[in-house]
Amino acid sequence: MGKFRDAVDAKALRFAVGFPLVLAAAFVFCAFLLRPDLPDPLAISWNADGGASFAPFSAYAAGSAVIIVAVGWLVLFQAVPVSRPAVLRRVMMGGGLFLSLFAASILAAGLVGQTGLADARESRLDLTVLALGSGAALWLGVIMGFVFKVDRQWTPEDDQAFELAVARELDPDLTRDSIRLWVHARSSVFVMIAVASVFPAALIAIVLPWVGVLLVALALVGAGFLFARVKADRSGLRVLVAGVVPVMEVPAKEISQASASEVRAADYGGWGYRHHSGTEAMLVSSGPAVVLRTTDGHNMAVSGGSPASAARLAEVLTRVAARAHGGGAPGAAAGGPGPAPGTG
């Protein structure tokens, strides 16, 4: 029960349950007030000549109540879970209010359009009631979407943020020992990929559309390998291709030395992720990079973006490696010469 309460907005839940029920009850009450002036049976659908389908008053009233409740619950309950984005919850709350009132307006227009008639076949929807009710429903829904206050609930993400804030307060150097950066190839490379794939794909798609789509998809995958997210902190180094696929993960205690230097991608097998002959590399271009040696003798290279960011990344890795090794002096100063590529 406690987990359920933490997962839902209690005030939104009460409104989502109660409003459609109250609206349906009010509709049924008003329908009974009009009953003496209504024909029997009532029209429930209309064509160009008037009423086409008919049902008893009790069925019309009960069915209307069920429709109002069902429509309201279907949409309003989407605004109850606190895990959903705030904007989505506002839209669902406003949309649920609008649809509930709009359904009631249509049903009420059907009733008013039959008031005072002896035969429901002569009836029509009352357009005045429909127009006024629909307009009011729309703007009330918009207002509800703006005024609905999304409750701020404490989530596991808040726990993590709180723990991180406490850790930073207790250890001011924690921020210095962490770096996050994106590295990517030069813009001219992506222009070249687009020219070499999109234009031919457009021509091929005229004859074989699926081949054109496949060519564009392969180009996007290839371009994705020229993006990387580099993370370094006291746990070590982590590199994710396209920001989502982990390809390199080195614990801090396994880093022997780290240095920033200018490298040529060809020396490591080319652009992208490479792993051969005891050397592992994730290079999106030639230029500034961080070269590492692990305690088991493996060499690694990671693009560092700009010379400044590469130097900062090497500095962080050197410092966290020294901390992981018990606070001893690091194997090499940041920015010093790195190991030769491909050596073990």
- Mapping DSSP to helix (H, G, I), strand (E, B) and coil, where does residue 80 land? coil
Q: Please check whether residue 268 is in contact with residue 281, taking contact to mean a CB–CB distance below 8 angstroms.
A: yes
At residue 295, the pLDDT reads 85
Helices in the chain by DSSP H: which ranges? Answer: 2-7, 10-34, 57-76, 86-112, 127-147, 156-170, 187-207, 209-224, 307-324
Is residue 268 within 8 Å of 341, Cβ to Cβ? yes
DSSP at 206: H
Task: Locate the domains of the chain by residue range.
Answer: 2-147, 179-184+226-344, 186-222
pTM attached to this predicted model: 0.48
**Concatenated DSSP letters for 255-318?**
EEEEEEEEE-GGGGTSSEEEEETTEEEEESSSEEEEEEEETTS-EEEEE-SSHHHHHHHHHHHH
What does CATH list as the number for 179-184+226-344?
A: 2.30.29
pLDDT of residue 101: 94
**158: helix, coil or strand?**
helix
Compute the distance between CA of residue 134 and CA of residue 331 in angstroms, rounded to an integer: 74
* For helices 187-207 and 209-224, angle between their N-to-C axes, nearest 10 degrees: 170
**pLDDT per position in the chain (344 positions), as tens?**
556 666 788 888 889 999 999 999 999 999 999 888 888 888 888 888 888 888 899 999 999 999 999 999 999 999 888 888 888 889 999 999 999 999 999 999 999 988 888 888 888 888 899 999 999 999 999 999 888 887 665 666 677 777 877 776 776 667 777 888 888 888 888 888 888 887 788 888 788 888 888 888 888 888 888 888 888 888 888 888 888 888 888 888 888 888 888 888 888 888 888 887 778 888 888 888 888 888 888 888 888 888 888 888 888 888 888 888 875 444 433 444 444 444 43
